[in-house]
Amino acid sequence: MGFREHLEEVVSRVDGALGCTLMGVDGIEVETHLTEAAGPDLRTLLVEYSTLLRLAREAAQAHQAGDLKELTIQTGGVLTVARLVTPEYFLAVALQPEGNFGKARYLLRITAPKLEAEL
């Protein structure tokens, strides 16, 4: 199962999912799968969020808070859940605000180790 199939599976199993990406914390995508419901700016929003992952990782390390595991960003239009797969890559799913947040977190948790093994 390739990266794309993993991303498609996450999106298909989460109600309200708009898209899913595997991306470096430098903002460079490995693979992204967006649904037709995704707005034209979702891809660039996710690229900008990569900066948050990088800064959160550095802040946690600098202040003895351990390794960054997960970041959730809720805005009026998009709920994004991101999980570090390795220190350099993260897996993120973007949902409609009323989407199934718990299912999204769960699927990221079980999918991340599968991607890690392939990275």
Q: Which of 2, 75, 110, 113 binds its own copies (CB under 8 A)?
A: 75
Between vectors from CA 111 to CA 108 and to CA 115, what angle results, nearest 5°?
120
Interface with its own copies, residue 37, by CB under 8 A: no
The reply on whether position 68 binds its own copies by CB under 8 A is yes
113 belongs to the binding site for its own copies (CB under 8 A): no
* Count of other CB atoms within 10 angstroms of residue 75: 9
49 binds its own copies (CB under 8 A): yes
Nearest-approach distance from CB 17 to its own copies, in angstroms: 15
CA-CA distance, 103 to 8, in Å (whole number)? Answer: 15
Closer Cβ to its own copies, 3 or 95, answer by number = 95
**CA torsion angle for 34, 35, 39, 43 (degrees, to 10)?**
0
Q: Which residues bind its own copies (CB under 8 A)?
A: 39, 41-42, 44-45, 48-49, 51-52, 55-56, 59-60, 62-78
